[in-house]
A and B are shown apart, each in its own frame.
Chain A
Amino acid sequence: MSTAESIPMRSFRVLTGVVLITWLVLPLIPLAIWSFARGWFYPDLLPKTWTLRAWEYAMSDTAGVLDSLWLTIGISLAATVLSILVGVPAGRALGMYKFRGKEIVELMILAPTIVPGIAVVLGIHSVFISMGLNNTVWGVILVHLIPTLPYMVLVMSGIFANYDPAFEAQARSLGASPLKTFWYVTLPAIRPGIIVGGLFAFLVSWSQYILTLLIGGGRVETLPLLLFNFATAGRNDITGAIGMIYILPGIIILLLTAKHLSGRSGAVGGFGQI
């Protein structure tokens, strides 16, 4: 009886698995095809002419796609580095100490991960105007800290919760300076957290759209802004090529960190923002 039941059950599993796999890759397929297509009109199922023109355009010095790519990498790197510098100490405080008001501090750090960017960025924009920060790269980097920093703090507080400060005390008692203790004792212990948290903070910044659009005022044209513009202008071939370039860092980071991506790690929460 149990074997008779398990064969349809197993084929049901395989079938739903196939449906799920198809659904998960489906939206990326037309984007990939478009990047190699020329005049792929209705009702052709596949392009009549295949070409590398969109890729040549994207890779040319004049199109601005590469400039936009470097700019986006620079902004995301800067937001990541700042998040690490500021987030690691805060993570240490939350992970290793109990103190009065801790719940409120945690709540304040958690809030930006749930409140959508549009709700805060309009207010920030009107202040940045008076500070001369709107339409600047620095303004964009600063505003990217709103989604990236909380996330870094949450990851690091998880790391520090399982961290034993006794090693630091031993190093200090053996005469190591605070700086040396940090460099040779603390840093190696928390490095995996910094790497994983940093890579995901990078991705969170990498995927920001509305914050960049408003604070950058259209002058700071990161890759998602360029992608949006080509998509709404109906240039599907170039949209396809930029889209493929745009998802590349995520795939690379995925290959580097696959084992950290189980939902058990606090890191996964950040994907709600991408």
Chain B
Amino acid sequence: MEVGHLSDRTKIFLLLLPAMFIIVVLFFGGLMIGLMRSFNYMPVIGLTEPDLSAYISVFTDREFYLSFLLTFHIAFTSTVISSILAIGAALLLRRSFVGRSIVNFLFQLNLTVPHLVGAIGMLYLFSQSGSFARLAHEFGMIARPSDFPALVFDPYAIGIILQYVWKEIPFIGVIVLANMQSIGEDYESVARSLGASKWQTFRYVLLPLIFPGVLSASVMVFAFTFGAYEIPAILGANFPAALPVLAYRKYTDVDLAARPEAMAMAIVIALLSAVMIYFYVRYSRRRIRG
């Protein structure tokens, strides 16, 4: 118990041990088992010869490509739209105006509302018998629900993207706003006094300064939107389904032979998030230290 007599190395080791144990066993263990099973390799249950059959059937399946493209489209479009609007919102919140404290409060409120609740809200707003369809009917724009454009369960995943934009503007927004506040306005004043226009000041002074913060937040958003299950499960079309939904379906298929295929899809998602981690670490090393 005499902690003071331990060397620093022992102390660090003991302090980190429980957390590293949990992360290595649960997180990396889960990844490793998934990887092994995706190769049909599991000595414990007698599978001793790894093969590529799961990957072959995944990569020769048209549904997988459609699903991958859809998921990439969802993640990419949501991330780009959210980032741009979040920068706009942060610029707005930087100055005082009537209602700023309300926007601030709602920003924080939305951070605490789970994605699932937002997804159900979007369903009630944008489905063909939802609030907007009813409004359109009220103004005589549509006669029956099927006249209203399909914004949920639709092939372009508009409902899903709307939900992510709703949820991620505040997330990226608070990070960008804090970034702007710690940078201050001195650099911009100098640029303005040297004759730069408002746009030039934003484009060549402020944007490069906040860019690393925007990028690290965007990377988190991209990885999340690529791997989330419940939002496309509520708002998405049946075919093609988003990759996490497809992986879950394969995993829970009555045909147990589909499980290695589900694992292979999980590995595809993990590889893509590994690329995201690379970008995150590259642009946000200092954020990790708090």
- Check if B201 is an interface residue, CB within 8 A of chain A: no
* A97-B97 Cα distance, complex, nearest whole Å: 45
Given contacts A146-B27, A149-B23, A253-B112, contact A120 B270 (CB under 8 A): yes
Q: Tell me whether A89 is interfacial, beta carbon within 8 Å.
A: yes
User: With a CB–CB cut-off of 8 A, which chain B residues contact A207?
Assistant: 114-116
Contact B29 A124 (CB under 8 A): yes
CA of A214 to CA of B30 in the docked complex: distance in angstroms? 13
Q: What residue in chain B is nearest A271 (Cβ atoms)? A: B111
Beta-carbon contact of A124 and B26 below 8 Å: yes
Check A116/B29 contact, CB under 8 A, given A150-B23, A178-B2, A206-B114. no
Any B CB within 8 A of the CB of A123: yes
CA–CA, A174 and B121, complex, Å:
59
Cβ of B145 within 8 Å of any chain A Cβ, yes or no, is yes
Task: Given A110-B288, A264-B182, decide whether A34 and B223 contact each other with a Cβ distance below 8 A.
Answer: no
**Cβ 8 A contact of B33, one of A107, A124, A231:** A124
Alpha-carbon gap, A93 to B11, bound state (A): 8
With A42-B129, A44-B134, A124-B30 known as contacts, the answer to whether A161 contacts B289 (CB < 8 A) is yes
CB of B270 within 8 A of CB of A115, answer yes
Q: A81 contacts which chain B residues (CB < 8 A)?
A: none
With A and B bound together, what is the CA distance between A99 and B115 in angstroms?
Answer: 38
B182 to chain A: closest residue by CB: A264
Q: Does A90 contact B (CB under 8 A)?
A: yes
CA distance A250 to B227 in the complex (A): 23
Contacts of A29 in B (CB 8 A): 121, 131
A121 CA / B1 CA spacing, docked (Å): 37
Q: What are the interface flags for A131-167 relative to B under an 8 Å C-beta threshold, 1 for contact and 0 otherwise?
A: 0000000000011011001100111011101000000
A185 to chain B, nearest CB (A): 13
> Does B72 belong to the interface (CB within 8 Å)?
no
Tell me how far the C-beta of B29 lies from the nearest C-beta in chain A, rounded to whole angstroms: 7
Nearest B residue to A273, CB-CB: B224
Which of under 10, 10 to 19, 20 to 34, or 35 or more describes the interface residues of B? Answer: 35 or more
Q: Which of B33, B107, B230 contacts A228 (CB 8 A)?
A: B230
**Which B residues lie within 8 Å of A52 (CB)?**
none
B112 x A90 contact (CB < 8 A) = no
Give the nearest-CB partner of B118 in chain A. A27
Residues of the A chain whose Cβ atoms lie less than 8 Å from the Cβ of B259: 122, 126
Instruction: Tell me, yes or no, whether B254 is within 8 Å of chain A by CB.
Output: no
Is A13 engaged at the interface, CB distance under 8 Å to the other chain?
Answer: yes
Q: What's the A-B contact tally at a CB cutoff of 8 Å? A: 323
Q: How far is the CB of B172 from chain A (nearest CB, A)?
A: 9
* B34 on interface, CB distance cutoff 8 Å: yes
Q: In the complex the two chains form, is A34's CB within 8 Å of B117's CB? A: no
Contact status B99-A14, CB under 8 Å: yes
Describe B's contact surface by its main secondary structure: helix
Interface class of chain A by DSSP: helix
Closest B residue by C-beta to A16:
B92
Binary contact track A17-53/B, C-beta < 8 Å → 1, others 0: 1101101111111110010000001111100000000
**Chain A neighbourhood of B277, CB < 8 A:** 107, 110-111, 114-115
| B-contacting residues, A257-274, CB 8 Å | 258, 261-264, 266, 268-269, 271-274
Q: Does the CB pair B19–A149 fall under 8 Å? A: yes
Q: Which residues of B sit under 8 angstroms from A195, Cβ to Cβ?
A: none
Q: How far is the CA of A93 from the CA of B269 in the complex (A)?
A: 31
A62 to B3, CA, bound (A): 53
Look across to chain A and name the residue whose beta carbon is closest to the beta carbon of B230: A209
Whole-angstrom distance from the CB of A107 to the nearest CB of chain B? 7
Whether the pair A17, B179 counts as a contact (CB closer than 8 A) is: no
Question: Can you list 23 pairs linking A and B with CB atoms under 8 Å apart?
Answer: A13-B95, A20-B89, A24-B166, A24-B169, A24-B170, A42-B145, A44-B134, A89-B14, A108-B28, A109-B19, A115-B270, A117-B227, A118-B247, A119-B34, A122-B266, A123-B37, A124-B30, A126-B259, A210-B248, A250-B113, A251-B112, A263-B178, A272-B217
Q: State the 8 A-B residue pairs at the shortest beta-carbon distance, nearest first.
A: A158-B290, A116-B227, A27-B121, A250-B112, A263-B178, A123-B34, A123-B33, A90-B19
With A95-B289, A114-B219, A123-B31 already in contact, 14 other A-B pairs whose C-beta atoms are closer than 8 Å: A20-B92, A27-B118, A30-B131, A95-B290, A106-B288, A119-B267, A120-B270, A150-B23, A157-B289, A224-B230, A227-B120, A247-B112, A247-B114, A262-B177
